[in-house]
Chains A and B, each alone.
Chain A
Amino acid sequence: MPVNEKKRHKNRKRNILQVARVIRSKNSGPFELTLDIMFKDRRHFELFREKKIITARKIAALYRISETDILKIVYFEPSQAVKITMRRKIPSGAPGDTDTYGAQQHVPLFDIKF
Chain B
Amino acid sequence: MPAQKTRKKLPPFKILSTTAILGYGFPESSFRNGLKKKPDLIAADAGSTDPGPYYLGAGKSFTNRLAVKRDLRLMIKAGLEKGIPVVIGTAGGSGARPHVDWCLDIVKEIAAEENLHFRLGVAYGDIEKATVIRALKENRIKPLAFVPELSPQTVEQSENIVAQMGVEPFIKLLKEGCQVVVAGRSYDPAVFAALPISLGYDPGLALHLGKILECAAIAATPGSGSDCALGILEEDSFILEALSPERKFSPQSAAAHTLYEKSDPYELPGPGGLINLRGCSFEDIGQGRVRVRGSRFVPSEDYWIKLEGVRLTGYRSISVAGVRDPIMISKIDSILRAVEKRARDIMKIAPEEGRIFFHVYGKNGVMGELEPVKKASSHELGIVIEAIGRSQEEADSLLAVTRSALLHHGYEGRLATAGNLAFPFSPSDVAMGKVFEFSIYHLMKIDDPYFFRTEIREL
Task: Mark A residues whose CB is within 8 Å of B.
Answer: 22, 26-32, 34, 36, 38, 62-65, 69, 71-72, 74, 76, 78-79, 81, 83, 85, 87-101, 104-105, 107-108, 111
Chain A residues in 8 Å Cβ range of B51: 93, 100-101
Task: Mark B residues whose CB is within 8 Å of A.
Answer: 49-54, 144-147, 251-252, 255-256, 258-266, 277, 280-282, 313-314, 355, 357, 359, 365-370, 372, 388, 435-438, 441
The CA-CA distance from A104 to B357 in the complex, in Å, is 19
Q: If the complex has contacts A78-B251, A93-B54, are A30 and B438 also in contact, measured as CB distance less than 8 A?
A: yes
Q: Can you name 6 A-B pairs with beta carbons within 8 Å?
A: A26-B260, A31-B146, A72-B264, A76-B259, A91-B438, A104-B366
**What is the count of residue pairs linking A and B with beta-carbon distances less than 8 angstroms?**
139
B255 near A34 (CB under 8 angstroms)? Answer: no
Chain B residues in 8 Å Cβ range of A100: 50-52
The interface centre, meaning the residue of A27, A78, A90, A92 with most chain B CB atoms within 10 A of its CB, is A78
Name the residue of chain A whose CB is nearest to the CB of B365: A98
The interface centre, meaning the residue of B53, B266, B313, B370 with most chain A CB atoms within 10 A of its CB, is B370
B53 near A83 (CB under 8 angstroms)? Answer: no
A28 near B366 (CB under 8 angstroms)? Answer: no
The CA-CA distance from A93 to B50 in the complex, in Å, is 9
The CA-CA distance from A90 to B115 in the complex, in Å, is 49
Q: If the complex has contacts A22-B256, A30-B441, A83-B265, are A64 and B370 also in contact, measured as CB distance less than 8 A?
A: yes
Name the residue of chain A whose CB is nearest to the CB of B316: A95
A27 near B261 (CB under 8 angstroms)? Answer: yes
The answer, among B53, B256, B277, for a CB contact under 8 Å with A93, is B53
Name the residue of chain B whose CB is nearest to the CB of A94: B437
A95 near B355 (CB under 8 angstroms)? Answer: yes
Measured CB to CB, the closest approach of chain B to A35, in angstroms, equals 10
Q: If the complex has contacts A91-B438, A92-B52, A108-B372, are A98 and B313 also in contact, measured as CB distance less than 8 A?
A: no
Given contacts A34-B261, A74-B264, A79-B252, list 19 more A-B pairs with CB under 8 A: A26-B261, A27-B261, A28-B261, A28-B263, A69-B146, A72-B263, A74-B265, A78-B258, A78-B280, A79-B255, A83-B259, A85-B264, A87-B145, A89-B368, A93-B436, A94-B53, A95-B313, A96-B357, A100-B52
